A = this chain, B = another copy of it.
Amino acid sequence: MGAVDVIIVGAGTAGLGALREVRKRTQRFIIINDGPWGTMCARVGCMPSKALIEAAGEFHRRLVFSELGLSGSDGLRVDLGAVLARVRKVRDAFVNETRELTDDLGERAISGRARLRGPHAVEVGGRVLEAGSIVVATGSRPAVPADWRALSDRLLTTDSLFEQTALPSRLAVVGLGPVGLEMAQALARLGVQVTGFHAGRTIAGLGDGPVNDMALETLRHELEVHLGHEARPTAEGAGLRVTAGSASAVVDRVLVAMGRTPCVEGLGLENLGVPLDEKGLPEVDRATLQVAGLPVFLAGDANAEVPLQHEAADDGHIAGINAVSASTRRFVRRTPLSIVFSDPTLARVGLRFDALDQARVVVGEARFADQGRARIMLRNAGLLRLCANREDGTLVGAELFAPEGEHLAHWLAVAIHRRSTVFDLLRVPFYHPTVEEGLRTALVEAAKQLPNGDGFPLLAMPSE
């Protein structure tokens, strides 16, 4: 086989994004994948986790049935084996759909572990393939420190969690970032006795004090949470003890959710001849995905930038476009948006509050304890905070822990993307009764702190 235009290493979300752009421009490409084909998102990430959360959320609602006038909820039971079987069924369908994207590639799709030999050469299965450029999109895997790895079959990660046919009665979740928090709450709702440990003081990547405080206060009604100390495992009978500071819990198994590590060991990045950081990664420009002047592009979780599916997809597209273009194009990235599928939902949009100069912004809040629709739904808990420039009222960021919060976050994302002011956003219709009225409450509060922000928001037309 002669040299191709592009070799894509990795067929996850980023690799498939690159493939889509490459195929539009050349048929001389190769895509190499190590391990099972199908994206991380579909196999062990977004999709199975949302399926587990769906079952947990529905079961949890039985607690309001009596108040709503529905009887018999005492007889509802979780069949954990059936829940997990349905998670796998859903997952398999999505995995098959991502696999279909490479099914027709024939010899251009290679299964095997790739190793870069230089900026134009990749070794796989004993052969060296040459290419004009290389897209590296090898993804990430759960980070598991050695003392946890030593637990062997008492250890779970998201790689193994969805393969279980049963779950123990006592589980520790170590790491309450987005993934750990989602799984801790869902498993607690499904009847597992969950103890959560988190070394930091803010959960799920939150930056803002009040939202973090409200989330912790609410979630502690459902599971035990210990913050601020690194957790350590020690053997205890057939199970293990997890200790963090003065807190400890004896559990049967532990789900380690301490973030993800780029899959770059043995990938040969050192053969590119550029400096690598302590994680073994070269410097990458997020606007191009290019590795310093080389025809090599590092996309998706492998670059350790923003480990979110929609950003990984963009990474792949940008890398794919640049890998087959004569000149490297710089792209404007999307408004930041991250969502944690807890209940209420946690989300962050736009600029981080803790990165803003507090003297130059105003903050508007809405509390969902007293919000009309949230009360009707018996989902009335949560706090939304949004932040606008004091100078001109432009909405710049928001953090929320709110019912239906994933949707409020999307509304905020389009508002911020369109560079809207709080004054103009108050001219948007808010239907009654919806949780979106909480957005209006927060906008009104922000506007009141700004000059002329206290009036009826609709614009008067110029008089004739």
Taking a contact as CB atoms under 8 Å apart, the answer to whether B54 and A70 are in contact is: no
Taking a contact as CB atoms under 8 Å apart, the answer to whether A334 and B427 are in contact is: yes
A414, CB-defined interface residue at 8 Å = yes
Task: Write the chain B residue with the least CB distance to A379.
Answer: B54
A210, CB-defined interface residue at 8 Å = no
Which one, A30-38, A247-255, A261-269, A415-423, is touching chain B? A415-423
A82 to B: closest C-beta gap in Å? 3
Name the B residues within 8 Å of A329 (CB-CB): 460-461, 463
A375 CA to B41 CA in the complex, in Å? 16
Taking a contact as CB atoms under 8 Å apart, the answer to whether B69 and A55 are in contact is: yes
A293 to B: closest C-beta gap in Å? 15
Given contacts A68-B58, A331-B461, contact A432 B310 (CB under 8 A): yes
- 0/1 string, A422-464, CB within 8 A of B gives 1: 0011011111111010000000000000000000101111010
A84 CA to B68 CA in the complex, in Å? 9
A246, CB-defined interface residue at 8 Å = no
- 0/1 string, A80-100, CB within 8 A of B gives 1: 111111100010011000000
Given contacts A84-B69, A310-B430, contact A332 B407 (CB under 8 A): no
A123, CB-defined interface residue at 8 Å = no
Taking a contact as CB atoms under 8 Å apart, the answer to whether B407 and A410 are in contact is: yes
Report the interface size for chain A: residues with CB under 8 A from the other chain: 92
A242, CB-defined interface residue at 8 Å = no
Name the B residues within 8 Å of A82 (CB-CB): 69, 71
Taking a contact as CB atoms under 8 Å apart, the answer to whether B78 and A376 are in contact is: no
Task: Write the chain B residue with the least CB distance to A80.
Answer: B69
A238 CA to B429 CA in the complex, in Å? 46
Taking a contact as CB atoms under 8 Å apart, the answer to whether B54 and A377 are in contact is: yes
A278, CB-defined interface residue at 8 Å = no
Taking a contact as CB atoms under 8 Å apart, the answer to whether B69 and A79 are in contact is: yes
Given contacts A73-B76, A411-B414, A413-B429, contact A372 B94 (CB under 8 A): yes
Taking a contact as CB atoms under 8 Å apart, the answer to whether A431 and B86 are in contact is: no
What are the nearest 3 A-B pairs in CB distance? A69-B83, A407-B407, A69-B82
A-B contact pairs, 26 of them (CB 8 A): A47-B372, A50-B433, A54-B377, A55-B69, A59-B70, A61-B61, A65-B76, A69-B81, A70-B79, A70-B83, A71-B77, A71-B78, A71-B79, A308-B431, A318-B458, A321-B456, A329-B461, A330-B460, A331-B459, A332-B461, A333-B458, A334-B429, A336-B429, A406-B434, A407-B434, A414-B414
Starting from the known contacts A309-B431, A309-B432, A406-B434, 4 additional A-B residue pairs (CB-CB under 8 Å) come to A329-B460, A329-B463, A407-B436, A410-B430
